[in-house]
Chain A
């Protein structure tokens, strides 16, 4: 059974700092990995999708890397801003039969302070 772990569970940094969020998964037979952010009381916003054949994806100040063989992904946020405060979730998809199910990590709650 796929298990996804995110470390740290919570993180507080001052504005302007660069930071790294970690995600690890136990079954490397994944189709892709997606990073999301979730604001309190809201749904999930997709940030980046990395296919299993890729090693990284970039969008603005965000860079996500994937090392499938070691079961790890990192989300790098450059020059953090208070608006980045949210819970960040990683999720891996694994094809079982004809399904494409996302298995989520427990999230990292990020607070960027002024």
Chain B
């Protein structure tokens, strides 16, 4: 597609439920990133992928968060046993490769945990 797409655009869930957020990067972009934007916290880096590999998971807030990428394309961010503090906008970005390349962002998924 022309840009980074994310689905769903909005997700409301109950505390304790699991959610999956999807990101479809720009075709040909090998690097993919997940960020979180929450009130009072600004934008924070969560995890990146180079191809299907995620060498650095230190940005994930807890072990309830996991992410995978298959086929070097689509990525899913999974949050297990959601908590109210997980409520935020989750943004995905992609770039041609790691390093000096510009990152292009998707529209985000707004997650609300009741």
Is A61's beta carbon under 8 Å from chain B? no
What 20 new A-B contacts, CB under 8 Å, besides A49-B102, A101-B33, A102-B103? A43-B6, A43-B91, A43-B106, A43-B107, A43-B108, A44-B93, A46-B104, A89-B43, A91-B43, A95-B99, A97-B55, A97-B56, A99-B55, A100-B31, A101-B45, A102-B93, A104-B43, A104-B44, A105-B42, A106-B42
Residues on A facing B (Cβ under 8 Å): 31-32, 34, 36, 41-46, 49, 51, 89, 91, 95-107
**What sequence of 0s and 1s flags, for each residue 98-112 of chain B, a beta carbon within 8 Å of any chain A beta carbon?**
111111111110100
Residues on B facing A (Cβ under 8 Å): 4, 6, 31, 33, 35, 42-45, 48, 50, 55-56, 59, 91, 93, 95, 98-108, 110
Q: Which residues of A contact B4 (CB under 8 A)?
A: 43
Q: Which residues of B contact A107 (CB under 8 A)?
A: 42
Q: How many pairs of A and B residues are in contact by the CB < 8 Å rule?
A: 63
Interface of A is mostly: strand
Write the nearest CB–CB distance from B54 to chain A, whole angstroms.
10
* A65-B103 Cα distance, complex, nearest whole Å: 19
